[in-house]
Structure 1
Amino acid sequence: MPEKIWPAAVLPKLLLIYGQKWEHEDAQVYGTPEALRRLGEACIAASEKPEGQTVSVEMMATDGEGYTVSITPRQEHGMNRLPDHYCQDREFD
């Protein structure tokens, strides 16, 4: 099967994020240099926002579907109130 060639307009958005399945497991982020730069810029922008104010950036997975990455700054007490983020054996709606 030939490798997919992406249109130039898609390259700045091509990003895959794999979260932890279990505790102590690594998370992985893969993307084109342009997409990683956009994600980094969004993280920096979020770090300058007040707590709870979300910065969003549109990305695209390698299946051709677009999605939004939302980045929200939280202080330590806010982080402690978030649910566990592990995705193994979790039921999604």
Structure 2
Amino acid sequence: GGASTAAHKKLAKGCMEEAEQGASLCSAAAATDHLLSFLHERGSHIARVSQCMYDYEDGIGVLEHESMGHIYSLIAKPIQTT
């Protein structure tokens, strides 16, 4: 019910805060290694998008498994720029 949803949101928020703290520790190493910096940035964006989709759904009313498919496609099939 509502208590379970509130607990999940609190847990997810705590995980994001821990990830952001860890990211600040890695930023010095990432500054010298371009690949590490790129991967760190992309991972952070994926985590933020995932959290936003979890909190607010995707805004168009698709089923939950379809939203997860979109997230997996972002990881496995990046957007082509050329």
TM > 0.5 fold call: no
The structure with the greater share of residues assigned to helix is 2
Please give the range of the TM-score, normalised by the shorter of the 2 chains. Answer: 0.3 to 0.5
So what's the TM-score if we normalise by structure 1?
Answer: 0.32
Please, what TM-score do these two structures have when normalized by structure 2? 0.35
Structure showing greater relative contact order (alpha-carbon pairs closer than 8 Å, 6 or more residues apart) = 1
Q: Which has the higher strand share?
A: 1
